[in-house]
C-alpha cells in the first residue's frame, strides 16, 4: 500500500516584539540560562555520586556522562533560548496578521507579531497550532524555530495521475500521465536560460577572484567573497526550483480538483550524473550536482502531493512508446527518433520525463494503488 509518510518542514520565523515584549523575552531567556547553570552543576554532582556507588560505571562511562552533561547544558547556554510547546504557546491570527501567543506567565499571554516581509514560511503558519518549538536570539533579533508536519493530499478511492519530472541543464520538463485515459495529457516546460545567464555572470566574478590561484593562496577576504558568490548561485537555483515547482503545483491542483490523486515522480540520485561530461562548464556541474537535485526533491517533498523516486537507468536512451533504443540528434542533441515505432523529432527531455512516469505506473494498478 502507498503510505502517507509523514514529512516535516523546518520553519524559522522572525519575531517582531515591541521593546516591552523584548524585555519580557530577555528576562525569560535568563531564567532558562540560570536553570541550565544550576542543572549542569547538579548533573555533574549526580554523575560523581553515581560513579562512586556503582562499580559497574566504568571510568569511560563517567567521562561520557560528564561530557553529556556539559553538552546539554553548554550548547543550550551559548544561545539564549526558551523552549515552547502547546502547553505554553500557539499561533493566532489577529487583524489579518499572524502572531505567536506565548505564556511566559500562566495568566499573562504575550502576543508577538511575526515578520511577514520576505518570509517564505509565513503561509505555512496555521491558526491555533503549536508544534514543539523554541525561541532564540541571534544578534539583536528574535526567532522562533519549529517543525510543521505536512499533510499529503491522498484519498483511497481516487484514481491517480503521475507527473514525471526530468531536470536538465537547458530545460526542466515534466509530463503528466492519466491512468484513466491512458494518455499523457499535460507537458510542462521550464526554460533555464535566464537562470543560466545569471549564474554565468556570477561565475565571471568567481573567476576574477580566483584568477587561477589555488584555494590555499586565497586571502581570507577572497574566500569570504567566494563563498558569498557561491551562496548567490545556490539562491538563484533554489529560486528557479521554486518557480518550476509553482508551475507543477498549478497542474497538480487542477487535477486534484477534478478528483484525482497526484504523484510526482523523480529519478533517484544515481541518475543525475548521466549527462555530465568533463568539458561542461561549472553551471552544468551545479545543475547536475547531488546538492541541486536533492534540493529539488526536498522542496517538492514538502508540498502536499506524494513524491516517488524511480531507477534512472536509460531514461534518456529508451523510447517511451515502445522501449526500443532511440537515435539522438539535432542541435545540442536534444531530439530523438525511434525506428521501431516511427516516433520522429521528439524532444529528448520530454521522452525522458515520460520514461520516468512509465517506471512508476508499472508498479501501480489502475486505481493508483501500489502493487
Ligand atoms: Zn519507439
Find the 337 Cα to ligand 1 centroid distance in Å: 8
Quick one: 145 exposed, middle or buried, by C-beta within 10 A (0-12, 13-18, 19+)? Answer: middle
Q: So what's the architecture of 160-361 in CATH?
A: 2-Layer Sandwich (3.30)
**pTM for the complete prediction?**
0.69
> For the chain, which residues make up each domain, given as ranges?
7-150, 160-361
Find the 352 Cα to ligand 1 centroid distance in Å: 13
pLDDT tens for residues 181-228?
Answer: 999 999 999 998 898 889 889 988 988 888 878 878 888 999 899 889
- The alpha carbon of 211 is separated from its chain's Cα centroid by a whole number of angstroms, namely 34
Residue 282: all three cell numbers together: 561549472
pLDDT tens for residues 115-134?
Answer: 887 666 676 677 677 888 99
For 274, other C-beta atoms within 10 Å of its C-beta total: 15
Amino acid 280: pLDDT: 42
Residue 98 in contact with residue 125, Cβ under 8 Å? yes
SS3 of residue 352 by DSSP: helix
C-alpha 160/C-alpha 365 separation (Å) is 10
Find the 311 Cα to ligand 1 centroid distance in Å: 20
308 DSSP β-pair partners: 265
Mean pLDDT, the chain, whole residue set: 83
Find the 271 Cα to ligand 1 centroid distance in Å: 22
Residue 350: all three cell numbers together: 520530454
pLDDT tens for residues 50-109?
Answer: 777 776 666 667 777 777 777 766 655 567 789 899 889 999 988 888 899 999 988 889
Task: Give kind and range of the element (H or E) at residue 367.
Answer: none
Find the 340 Cα to ligand 1 centroid distance in Å: 5
Q: Give mean pLDDT, residues 22-45.
A: 86
- The alpha carbon of 287 is separated from its chain's Cα centroid by a whole number of angstroms, namely 16
Amino acid at each position: 500500500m502507498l503510505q502517507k509518510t509523514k514529512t516535516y518542514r523546518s520553519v524559522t520565523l522572525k519575531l517582531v516584539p515591541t521593546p516591552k515584549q523584548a524585555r519580557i523575552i530577555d528576562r525569560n531567556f535568563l531564567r532558562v540560562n540560570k536553570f541550565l547553570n544550576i542543572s549542569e552543576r547538579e548533573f555533574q554532582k549526580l554523575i560523581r555520586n553515581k560513579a562512586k556507588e556503582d562499580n559497574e560505571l566504568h571510568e569511560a562511562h563517567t567521562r561520557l556522562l560528564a561530557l553529556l552533561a556539559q553538552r546539554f547544558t553548554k550548547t543550550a547556554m551559548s544561545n539564549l533560548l526558551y523552549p515552547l510547546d502547546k502547553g505554553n504557546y500557539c499561533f493566532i491570527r489577529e487583524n489579518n496578521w499572524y502572531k505567536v501567543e506565548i505564556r511566559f506567565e500562566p495568566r499573562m499571554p504575550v502576543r508577538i507579531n511575526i515578520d511577514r516581509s520576505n518570509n517564505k514560511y509565513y503561509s505555512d503558519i496555521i491558526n491555533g497550532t503549536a508544534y514543539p518549538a523554541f525561541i532564540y536570539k541571534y544578534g539583536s533579533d528574535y526567532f522562533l524555530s519549529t517543525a510543521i508536519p505536512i499533510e499529503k493530499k491522498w484519498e483511497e478511492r481516487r484514481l491517480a495521475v503521475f507527473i514525471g519530472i526530468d531536470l536538465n541543464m537547458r530545460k526542466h520538463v515534466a509530463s503528466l500521465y492519466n491512468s484513466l485515459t491512458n494518455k499523457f495529457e499535460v507537458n510542462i516546460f521550464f526554460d533555464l536560460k535566464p537562470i543560466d545567464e545569471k549564474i554565468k555572470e556570477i561565475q565571471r566574478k568567481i573567476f576574477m577572484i580566483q584568477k587561477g590561484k589555488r584555494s590555499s593562496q586565497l586571502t581570507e577576504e577572497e574566500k569570504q567573497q567566494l563563498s558569498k558568490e557561491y551562496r548567490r548561485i545556490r539562491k538563484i537555483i533554489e529560486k528557479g526550483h521554486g518557480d518550476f515547482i509553482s508551475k507543477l503545483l498549478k497542474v497538480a491542483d487542477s487535477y486534484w480538483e477534478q478528483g484525482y490523486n497526484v504523484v510526482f515522480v523523480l529519478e533517484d540520485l544515481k541518475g543525475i550524473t548521466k549527462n555530465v561530461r568533463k568539458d561542461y562548464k561549472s553551471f552544468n556541474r551545479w545543475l547536475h550536482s547531488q546538492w541541486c537535485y536533492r534540493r529539488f526533491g526536498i522542496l517538492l517533498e514538502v508540498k502536499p502531493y506524494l513524491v516517488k523516486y524511480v531507477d534512472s537507468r536509460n531514461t534518456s536512451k529508451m523510447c517511451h512508446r515502445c522501449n526500443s533504443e532511440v537515435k539522438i540528434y539535432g542541435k545540442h542533441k536534444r531530439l530523438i527518433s525511434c525506428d521501431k515505432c516511427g516516433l520522429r523529432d521528439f524532444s529528448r527531455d520530454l521522452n525522458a520525463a515520460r520514461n520516468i512516469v512509465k517506471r512508476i505506473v508499472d508498479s501501480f494498478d489502475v486505481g493508483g494503488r501500489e502493487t
